[in-house]
Amino acid sequence: MTETDSGTNPATGPADGESTPSDAAAVAGLLFEKEGGHTTDSPAMETPYQVDLEIFEGPLDLLLFLIKKDEVDIYDISIERITEQYLAYIDTFKLLNIGLAGEFLVMAATLCYIKSRMMLPKHVQPPDEDIDEEDPRWDLIKQLIEYKKFKDAAASLGQREEKLGNLYRNFPDKIESDSAEERRLSEDINIFDLIRAFQNILDRFNDGGVGEIIDDHYTVSDKIDFLLAIVQPGKRVSFNSLFDGVSSKGELIVTFLAMLELMKLNHFRVRQDQSLGEIELERNVIE
């Protein structure tokens, strides 16, 4: 994918069988520094536009998201594949200059560590007191399964909430309406879905062989104005259409960031067609 450049894969380092969890921490440091390297061509990095987006999802949420999208069996995940995908997402967040909790990097390091262990023939693997199971993936899988159970229970509670929300009394519970910062995204879609959609746009741009026109002065506020102009209140557009006619990667990035800002400010809401995966934006009518 795009700039993922899996030469970033630090697992080639510790593969000599001397990985330990403390190496994982060193790897995390590497990952963090590495990102500065290949993103300097992005206007988002030159005048670093910081999207003040609080990510409420954690690394386990991202892993489960990847597993679900890939439709793989959680008991038999390909560590190589999931690590690659995971790192690609971390890369994209960095490209967009969206801050991620340190835990995301710790998980990245953990994935690389597990991957390196899996690459070694069993008799060469160093004894690791922390891992009883022969399968180096096991601890992580166990963690994911337990976490998923809570997610499922939470979703089930959410369904109950929805059903009960259809029943009204004449003494209603306090009518709560969330403030703008909290109602950032719609219910159906999370930040990973948006990142994934953005990655697809980036991929198509790179594959399209469009030469980059480097004369590129778009800023995020330019694009905010642009988006507000082309999408009137009450109107809906497809996510992909926002990027029509874009002529550089930098422009793609600032367009996406502008969209995120407008969602945060509650001008736009997003929804995703569950079967086709297409994302739509709708401009809110503010009365």
Residues that bind another protein (CB under 8 A): 20-22, 54-61, 101, 103-104, 107, 129-130, 143, 146-147, 149-158, 160-178, 182-183, 185, 187, 190
CB of 68 to another protein, least distance (A): 13
Closest CA to 243 of 207, 200, 272: 200
Q: Which of 19, 32, 140 is nearest to 87 (CA)?
A: 32
The residue (of 139 and 222) whose beta carbon lies closer to another protein is 139
Query: 3-state DSSP call for residue 281?
Result: strand
Tell me whether residue 142 or residue 204 sits nearer to another protein (CB atom).
142
How near is the Cβ of 81 to another protein at its closest, in Å? 21
- Smallest distance from the beta carbon of 224 to another protein, in angstroms? 24
Residue 218: what residue type?
Y
Least separation in angstroms between CB 125 and another protein: 16
In Å, how far are 49, 162, 163, 176 from 166, measured between CA atoms? 42, 7, 6, 15
What's the min distance (Å) between Cβ of 90 and another protein? 14
| Shortest distance (Å) from residue 214 CB to another protein | 37
Amino acid at 208: G
Q: Is 1 exposed, middle or buried (0-12, 13-18, 19+ CB in 10 A)?
A: middle
Radius of gyration of the chain (CA): 21
* Cβ-contact 91, 4 below 8 angstroms: yes
Closest separation in Å from C-beta 114 to another protein: 16
Between 24 and 253, whose beta carbon lies closer to another protein?
A: 24
Nearer Cβ to another protein, position 121 or 127?
127
User: Which secondary-structure segment (H or E) carries 279?
Assistant: strand 279-283
Helix 79-95 / helix 59-70 crossing angle, nearest 10 deg: 120
Helix (H) / strand (E) element for 173: namely none
3-state secondary structure of 36: helix
Rank residues 37 and 102 by Cβ distance to another protein and give the closer one.
Answer: 102
Residue closer to another protein, measured from CB, 155 or 210:
155
Nearer residue to another protein within complex by CB, 37 or 158: 158
State the Cα–Cα distance between residues 22 and 26, nearest whole angstrom: 7
User: Which DSSP letter does residue 9 get?
Assistant: -
